[in-house]
Structure 1
Amino acid sequence: MKEKPFSSLPVFLVDDEESVLHATATVLRSAGVPRIEMVADSRALLPALEAQPASALLLDLSMPHVSGSKLLPDIVHLYPEVPVIVMTAAQDVETAVSSMKEGAFDYLVKPVEESRLVASVRHALEVHSLRRQMGVLKRYLLSDCLQDNEAFAGIVTNSRKMRALFQYLEAVAGTAEPVLICGETGAGKEMFAHALHKLSGLGGQFVQVNVAGLDDTLFSDTLFGHRKGAFTGADQSRAGLIAQAAGGTLFLDEIGDLSMASQVKLLRLLQEHMYFPLGSDVARPSDARVVCATNCNLAQMMRQNRFRSDLFFRLSVHQIEVPPLRQRKEDIPLLLQHFLDEAAALIRKPVPEPSNELITLLSNHHFPGNVRELRAMVFNAMALHRGGSILAMDSFRQAMQKQQKGGAEPAASDEESEMPILIPGRFPTLDEVEEALVAEALKRAKGNQGVAATLLGLSRPALNRRLARRATRATS
């Protein structure tokens, strides 16, 4: 059975004073805590917890019928993942300290300061989330299974690397913390964000915004909205995207391009779960789950003082790195067929069969544009296809040769596909270098001379001439 999202579990308030219950609930709701369960009769607590799991619990120690001191050991034993915050009067601080030894997470002295209350509950929710994640991750390590394959239906893959990311996303999907999705352009970061939203079980919308190119004012207006008259031309109030994403997911793409001023505002939103529309001095709560994506190296940007370290650590509570296509080449035949089916259905043509030669050629391409580049290649090939059962390779070769002539370079981080030029000892002749390159191209092409010619940026006749000279030198 699929578990409820962690963020949907309520915070329990247990106190025999109705006024305290309602005042505490009001403070927590205004701070963005979405669900609260109030229990005035301590005898009803354990049955209530059995019927409805909790994310955190505030427990008054002095109550009639069953005191909080007596309930605490049972709660800690039966629900060890639920942090219990005990509340006590000033003269009972020693009792509160002894409760900490019994397993209480924190204690608050009545009357409780609002800031102290909110900070304690937020900390408890974070700890509960981490405890639950650890439990889920342990189950995945032991079972190697997915609970919701349907959420990943849009991501075509057979890669073990990708499956491991799916399992991690399932483990963290129900948490309230941000998720940072890193990866090269075209690798599929947006599809991971959509899958995460589906897995989360959140009832709100998935709202996406590309923050690249937004100056600070436009960023604030886009996310936070504005009141009427906030600036010239603001003829009426407008809700921002955070309001649209209430109870759902706010996906910020290209987060590495955010200005420093906007980074401060985003950090405040993540820390306080509150925001101010432009022209308003009244804070509004936000319960939207924030997911960010970037193709930038944020660690390097931090060293260059272009990205705030405090924002990075807040965003990267959960971080995944989507592997580029060249690091999961086992997916190329699957993706090729998927895009052929998609393109053929779109333009109403029969689906041609890709040749083994084409698959070998694609498996040796670096794909700086990743899955998006492969899709563009396939759709172009299908548009040019004039019939026949086998898909022609000419358009693929032309695209690769154009890329080679255009000077497209592989990603510097992809060490396994690089051929570093190391020349220890005697310096080789040009003929020796040419022979080594041709031999390596034939090896990668599995002996297919057409594929090898494409890898070398040559025509088939030009490669044949070089092979002929090579054979002549070998026999002379």
Structure 2
Amino acid sequence: MTQSLYPAFGVLLVDDEPSFLRSLGIALERSGGINHIHRCHDSREVMEILARENIGLVTLDLTMPHLSGEELLARIVEEYPDVGVIVVSGLNQVESAVSCIKLGAFDYFVKTDEESRLVEGIRRAIRLQELRQENQALRRRVLDDTLERPEAFAHIVTADKGMRAVFQYLESVALTQQPILISGESGVGKELIAKAAHTLSGRRGPLVCVNVAGLDDNVFADTLFGHQRGAFTGAEQPRAGMIEQAAGGTLLLDEIGDLSLASQVKLLRLLQEGEYYPLGSDRPKRLQARVVVATHHDLAEKQRAGTFRKDLYYRLRTHQVHIPPLRQRKQDIALLLDHFLAEAAAELGKGKPSYPPELAVLLGNYAFPGNVRELRAMAYDAMSQHRSRTLSMAAFKRAIDQARGDEAPLHHRQRAVFAPDEPLPTLDEVADLLVEEAMQRAEGNQTMASRWLGISQPALSKRLKKRRDEGA
């Protein structure tokens, strides 16, 4: 398997000492997981490399033959302003550091500094470069209202502008190593979004999905990290964890909001250090997968309540996408209905039926607490009972009535119908408002409107006639 390069842009190490270049490159790969590295020991070749390669960050020695570091720094800042520069000098001089920062260097390190400080400084600069590139890409896509890779979203049926904005954001952050947090109610299609993020990343490895809800700390560690033989009773053979299985690809941790506090500590360390220990092993392994997490919980609320670690929450929300519920993208309902009916018809060996226009109105006025998953279940249930040329609405009505019956007590307890600072309307005024709203939602269909109002169609017709007579 070909190892994925990180970061997406190249890091150019410039120094006239080949031994320093070699040791720094090894440290970056071992400690930082940074392997997209170019090395240059001749300062005269730097500008040519920048013109030829996709370089996003340069580490630059100050004291070199031919062209000095300060000369190169000035040229890079002028000709390649989007390339970040870190100065790594053998001179521990405040004046030199201040001069370089004024010229446009991102940071200044001395070669005698601890190696870990230099590696962490380079990692920090890479993250800032990634964020800058993502912001530029997102701004370009939003202004142009374009998708560069629409095929990555072909499996998601939508015409909603909010979903399109999600797609544009995903394209902007697809190539970074940072985790993505996907939030949204159950059934909105978070796994489909994770699949699109994986496709956009260009990673050759697989997309591995793990539902972490209900896993205790030991099972979570064994599932993700794997174990060595003899790590615990019954561990007769070594087993690779899901992280290793997802190497070179994407690891999706679903229902992350249900993760225990003890497991949250392990996940935080994995994301911070980029390494992990299989159970029973004292040799760390590098994280070679991009981590994507999904949840239907409000993680901000959970961290305020103390059930989700604040440091992990902020680590995960580096890149966050929220999938709107189906009730907020009503134009997708008809598209999804057609898609699921065709899918169910093909699976059941039936022809795709037509359906009455009232069905679209009925579904458009339903809240869909189960979102896209609920609509799919309705379509499959209706198709399994379908016998005639036109699809019956009975299965949809039955499912909606049952769902509304289940949620009615809670709904009536929690919803505020009237504003407390306004006078109450009379019963006649309320009745007229209800009738008007029901007729508007039913697009003039009295049968559907009367059903929502809980009265007979003749009773509704009589009330409408009375209103017309009074208005005449």
Give the TM-score taking structure 1 as reference length.
Answer: 0.91
The answer to whether the Cα contact below 8 Å between 2:418 and 2:424 also exists between their aligned partners in 1 is no
The 5 A counterparts of 1:362-441 are 362-388=363-389, 390-407=390-407, 420-422=417-419, 424-425=422-423, 428-429=426-427, 436-441=433-438
Moved more, 276-285 or 90-99: 90-99
**Aligned-pair identity (%):** 51
Q: Is the 8 A contact 1:6 1:55 kept in 2?
A: no
- The one-letter amino acid paired with 1:279 is G
1:273-422 residue pairs with structure 2 within 5 A?
273-388=274-389, 390-407=390-407, 420-422=417-419
C-alpha distance in 2 between matches for 1:146 and 1:399: 37
- Is contact 1:249-1:291 (8 Å) kept? yes
Which piece of structure 1 moves more, 134-143 or 155-164? 134-143
1:148 counterpart residue number = 149
> Separation in 2 of the partners of 1:291 and 1:49?
32
Matches within 5 A, 1:25-424: 25-31=25-31, 32-388=33-389, 390-407=390-407, 420-422=417-419, 424=422
Per-residue CA deviations over 1:152-174 (Å, capped at 9, x if unaligned) read 10111111111111111111111
Q: Given the superposition, is the C-alpha separation of residues 170 and 20 from structure 1 closer, same or farther in structure 2, using an over 3 Å criterion?
A: same
Instruction: Output the CA distance in 2 between the equivalents of 1:114 and 1:171.
Output: 32
Say whether 1:452 aligns with 2:453.
no
Find the aligned partners of 2:168 and 2:465 in 1 and give their Cα distance.
56
Cα deviation code 1:283-321 (max 9, x no counterpart): 222132111111101111112101111111111111111
Q: Which residue of 2 aligns with 1:8?
A: 8
Alpha-carbon distance change, 55 to 269 in structure 1, aligned in 2, over 3 angstroms: farther
Q: Rate the CA distance shift 1:282–1:6 in 2: closer, same or farther, 3 A.
A: closer
Whole-Å separation in 2 of the counterparts to 1:65 and 1:111: 24
* Mean Cα deviation higher: 259-268 or 89-98: 89-98
Return closer, same or farther for 1:103/1:235 CA change in 2, 3 Å cut-off: same
Q: Is the 8 Å Cα contact of residues 14 and 57 (structure 1) preserved in structure 2?
A: yes
CA separation of 1:283/1:114 partners in 2, compared to 1, >3 Å: closer, same or farther? farther
Distance 1:444 1:118, change over 3 A: same
Q: Which residue of 1 aligns with 2:460?
A: 467
AA at the equivalent of 1:53: N
How much has 1:355 moved relative to structure 2? 2.0
Deviation at 1:84, TM superposition (A): 1.2
- CA distances 1:343-384 after superposition (whole Å, capped 9, x unpaired): 111112111112211111110011001111111111111111
Distance 1:92 1:300, change over 3 A: closer
Q: Which amino acid aligns with 2:456?
A: L
2:59 and 2:410 mapped to 1: Cα distance?
55
Higher alpha-carbon deviation: 447-456 or 397-406? 447-456
Single out whichever of 137-146 and 435-444 deviates more from structure 2: 435-444
Contact 1:157/1:331, CA 8 A, preserved across alignment: yes
Deviations 1:248-270 (A, max 9, x none): 21111111001011111111111
Secondary structure of the residue aligned to 2:88 is: strand
Query: One-letter code of the match for 1:451?
Result: M
Aligned partners of 2:207 and 2:251 also within 8 Å: yes
* 1:135–1:472 Cα change, 3 Å: closer
Amino acid at match of 1:467: L
* Cα distance between partner residues in 2 of 1:426 and 1:184: 34
How far apart are the structure 1 equivalents of 2:318 and 2:142? 20
* C-alpha distance in 1 between matches for 2:445 and 2:203: 51
SS at match of 1:406: helix
| Local SS of the residue matching 1:425 | coil
Q: Is the 8 A contact 1:178 1:317 kept in 2?
A: yes
Residue 101 (structure 1) shift: 1.2
The TM-score normalised by the length of structure 2 is 0.92
Kindly indicate whether the alpha-carbon contact (under 8 Å) linking 2:182 and 2:323 is maintained by their aligned counterparts in 1: yes
- Partner Cα separation in structure 2 for residue 231 and residue 18 of structure 1: 46
In 2 relative to 1, CA 108–472 (structure 1 residues): closer, same or farther, beyond 3 Å? closer
Q: Which residue of 1 aligns with 2:18?
A: 18
Let me know the Cα RMSD of the aligned residues. 2.5
CA contact (8 A) 2:386 2:392 kept: yes
Q: Is the 8 A contact 1:332 1:362 kept in 2?
A: yes
Of 5-14 and 78-87, deviating more is 5-14
Cα offset, 1:232, TM superposition: 1.1
Given that 1:60 and 1:68 are in contact with CA atoms closer than 8 Å, whether structure 2 keeps it comes out as: yes
CA deviations 1:168-197 (Å, max 9, x no partner) are: 111111122111111001111111111111
Greater displacement, 190-199 / 439-448: 439-448
> Which one-letter code corresponds to 1:222 in the other structure?
T
CA–CA distance in 1 between the matches of 2:218 and 2:24?
A: 36
Contact 1:83 1:127 in 2 (8 A): no
Q: CA 1:51/1:471 → structure 2, altered by over 3 Å: closer, same or farther?
A: closer
Structure 1 residue 440: deviation in Å? 2.7
In structure 2, the CA distance between the partners of 1:411 and 1:259, relative to structure 1 (3 Å rule), is farther
2:423 counterpart letter in structure 1: G
Deviation string for 1:41-65 (max 9, x for gaps)?
Answer: 2222221222211232211111222
Q: For residue 442 of structure 1, what is the aligned residue in structure 2?
A: 439
* Corresponding residue SS for 2:7: helix
Deviation at 1:434? 5.3
* Contact persistence 2:261–2:307 (CA under 8 A): yes
Secondary structure of 1:291's aligned partner: strand
Unaligned runs of 5+ in 2: none
Question: 2:8·2:176 contact (CA, 8 Å) conserved in 1?
Answer: no
Asked if the contact 1:61–1:88 (Cα under 8 Å) also holds between the matched residues in 2, the reply is: yes
Contact 1:179 1:316 in 2 (8 A): yes
Aligned residues: 463
CA distance in 2 between partners of 1:409 and 1:135 (Å): 49
Distance 1:237 1:351 in 2: 50
